[in-house]
Amino acid sequence: MACKILVVEDEIFVATEIEYVVSELGHKPVGIAADKASAFHLAPLADIALVDLNLRDGATGTEIGRLLAEQHGITVLFMTANPSQLGDGVPGTVGVLAKPVGEDELIQAVNYVVAKRHALEAEAPARMMLFS
Protein backbone atom coordinates (compact mmCIF):
# COMPACT_ATOMS: atom_id res chain seq x y z
CA MET A 1 0.00 0.00 0.00
CA ALA A 2 2.83 2.40 -0.74
CA CYS A 3 1.73 5.94 -1.52
CA LYS A 4 3.33 8.84 -3.35
CA ILE A 5 3.70 11.69 -0.86
CA LEU A 6 4.29 15.37 -1.54
CA VAL A 7 5.88 17.51 1.19
CA VAL A 8 4.75 21.16 1.06
CA GLU A 9 7.19 22.83 3.42
CA ASP A 10 9.62 25.75 3.02
CA GLU A 11 11.98 24.84 5.88
CA ILE A 12 14.38 22.54 4.02
CA PHE A 13 15.63 20.69 7.11
CA VAL A 14 12.08 19.95 8.24
CA ALA A 15 11.08 18.92 4.71
CA THR A 16 14.02 16.54 4.25
CA GLU A 17 13.36 14.93 7.64
CA ILE A 18 9.72 14.35 6.65
CA GLU A 19 10.86 12.87 3.31
CA TYR A 20 13.29 10.58 5.13
CA VAL A 21 10.54 9.25 7.43
CA VAL A 22 8.15 8.82 4.47
CA SER A 23 10.72 6.77 2.55
CA GLU A 24 11.66 4.70 5.64
CA LEU A 25 7.96 3.75 5.89
CA GLY A 26 8.10 2.41 2.31
CA HIS A 27 6.37 5.32 0.58
CA LYS A 28 7.69 7.36 -2.34
CA PRO A 29 8.42 11.04 -1.70
CA VAL A 30 7.57 12.88 -4.94
CA GLY A 31 9.29 16.11 -3.97
CA ILE A 32 9.43 19.12 -1.73
CA ALA A 33 7.35 22.19 -2.60
CA ALA A 34 8.23 25.45 -0.84
CA ASP A 35 5.47 27.49 -2.50
CA LYS A 36 2.18 27.30 -4.37
CA ALA A 37 3.70 27.05 -7.87
CA SER A 38 5.95 24.11 -7.02
CA ALA A 39 3.13 22.36 -5.11
CA PHE A 40 0.87 22.43 -8.17
CA HIS A 41 3.75 21.41 -10.44
CA LEU A 42 4.25 18.25 -8.32
CA ALA A 43 0.54 17.61 -7.60
CA PRO A 44 -0.05 15.17 -10.51
CA LEU A 45 2.58 12.85 -9.00
CA ALA A 46 1.06 12.66 -5.49
CA ASP A 47 -1.57 10.63 -3.63
CA ILE A 48 -1.01 12.39 -0.30
CA ALA A 49 0.28 15.85 0.66
CA LEU A 50 1.67 16.99 4.01
CA VAL A 51 1.15 20.75 3.91
CA ASP A 52 2.55 23.57 6.05
CA LEU A 53 0.54 26.82 6.12
CA ASN A 54 3.19 29.53 5.97
CA LEU A 55 5.42 29.02 2.96
CA ARG A 56 7.96 30.93 0.90
CA ASP A 57 5.16 32.82 -0.88
CA GLY A 58 3.24 33.64 2.32
CA ALA A 59 0.30 32.01 4.10
CA THR A 60 -0.73 30.02 1.02
CA GLY A 61 -0.88 26.56 2.62
CA THR A 62 -4.61 26.62 3.38
CA GLU A 63 -5.46 27.36 -0.24
CA ILE A 64 -2.89 24.85 -1.52
CA GLY A 65 -4.33 22.10 0.67
CA ARG A 66 -7.91 22.85 -0.34
CA LEU A 67 -7.07 22.90 -4.07
CA LEU A 68 -4.91 19.77 -3.91
CA ALA A 69 -7.86 17.94 -2.36
CA GLU A 70 -10.56 19.46 -4.61
CA GLN A 71 -8.81 19.52 -7.97
CA HIS A 72 -6.35 16.64 -7.70
CA GLY A 73 -8.07 14.21 -5.31
CA ILE A 74 -5.06 14.27 -3.00
CA THR A 75 -5.44 13.26 0.65
CA VAL A 76 -4.19 16.32 2.58
CA LEU A 77 -2.88 16.61 6.13
CA PHE A 78 -1.79 20.02 7.36
CA MET A 79 1.30 20.20 9.57
CA THR A 80 1.85 23.63 11.10
CA ALA A 81 2.94 25.49 14.19
CA ASN A 82 -0.19 27.62 13.72
CA PRO A 83 -3.18 25.23 13.63
CA SER A 84 -5.54 28.00 14.78
CA GLN A 85 -5.13 29.58 11.30
CA LEU A 86 -7.32 26.76 9.96
CA GLY A 87 -10.32 27.63 12.13
CA ASP A 88 -12.83 24.78 11.99
CA GLY A 89 -10.94 23.08 9.18
CA VAL A 90 -10.71 22.93 5.42
CA PRO A 91 -13.35 20.92 3.54
CA GLY A 92 -11.96 17.84 1.83
CA THR A 93 -8.83 17.64 3.97
CA VAL A 94 -8.08 15.17 6.78
CA GLY A 95 -6.94 17.43 9.61
CA VAL A 96 -3.98 19.19 11.16
CA LEU A 97 -1.03 18.13 13.26
CA ALA A 98 0.62 20.85 15.34
CA LYS A 99 4.37 21.27 14.97
CA PRO A 100 6.86 20.55 16.28
CA VAL A 101 6.32 16.87 15.52
CA GLY A 102 8.51 14.08 16.87
CA GLU A 103 9.49 11.16 14.66
CA ASP A 104 7.12 8.68 16.35
CA GLU A 105 4.21 11.09 15.98
CA LEU A 106 5.12 11.73 12.33
CA ILE A 107 5.19 7.99 11.65
CA GLN A 108 1.76 7.61 13.26
CA ALA A 109 0.40 10.59 11.27
CA VAL A 110 1.71 9.23 7.94
CA ASN A 111 0.29 5.78 8.72
CA TYR A 112 -3.07 7.37 9.58
CA VAL A 113 -3.24 9.42 6.37
CA VAL A 114 -2.24 6.40 4.26
CA ALA A 115 -4.99 4.36 5.92
CA LYS A 116 -7.52 7.17 5.24
CA ARG A 117 -6.39 7.25 1.59
CA HIS A 118 -7.25 3.54 1.34
CA ALA A 119 -10.49 3.90 3.35
CA LEU A 120 -9.10 1.80 6.20
CA GLU A 121 -9.51 2.28 9.93
CA ALA A 122 -6.55 3.75 11.80
CA GLU A 123 -5.82 5.62 14.99
CA ALA A 124 -4.84 9.27 14.64
CA PRO A 125 -2.04 10.73 16.76
CA ALA A 126 -3.42 12.18 19.99
CA ARG A 127 -2.51 15.77 19.02
CA MET A 128 -4.02 15.55 15.53
CA MET A 129 -7.20 17.58 15.06
CA LEU A 130 -9.47 15.85 12.55
CA PHE A 131 -11.80 17.75 10.24
CA SER A 132 -15.27 16.39 9.57
Q: Above 80 in pLDDT, residue 132? A: no
Kind and range of the H or E element at 71? Answer: helix 61-72
Identify whether the C-beta of residue 68 lies closer than 8 Å to the C-beta of residue 92.
no
Identify whether the C-beta of residue 92 lies closer than 8 Å to the C-beta of residue 60.
no
Q: Average per-residue pLDDT in the chain?
A: 96
Strand 48-51 relative to strand 28-33: parallel, antiparallel, unpaired? Answer: unpaired
State the Cα–Cα distance between residues 132 and 116, nearest whole angstrom.
Answer: 13
The range of the structural domain enclosing residue 76 comes to 4-130
State the Cα–Cα distance between residues 84 and 101, nearest whole angstrom.
Answer: 16
Model confidence pLDDT, tens digit, residues 41-62: 999 999 999 999 999 999 999 9
Q: Above 90 in pLDDT, residue 15? A: yes
Model confidence pLDDT, tens digit, residues 98-119: 999 999 999 999 999 999 999 9
Q: Looking at the 3D structure of the chain, how many domains does it have?
A: 1
Q: Above 90 in pLDDT, residue 127? A: yes
CATH number at residue 53: 3.40.50.2300
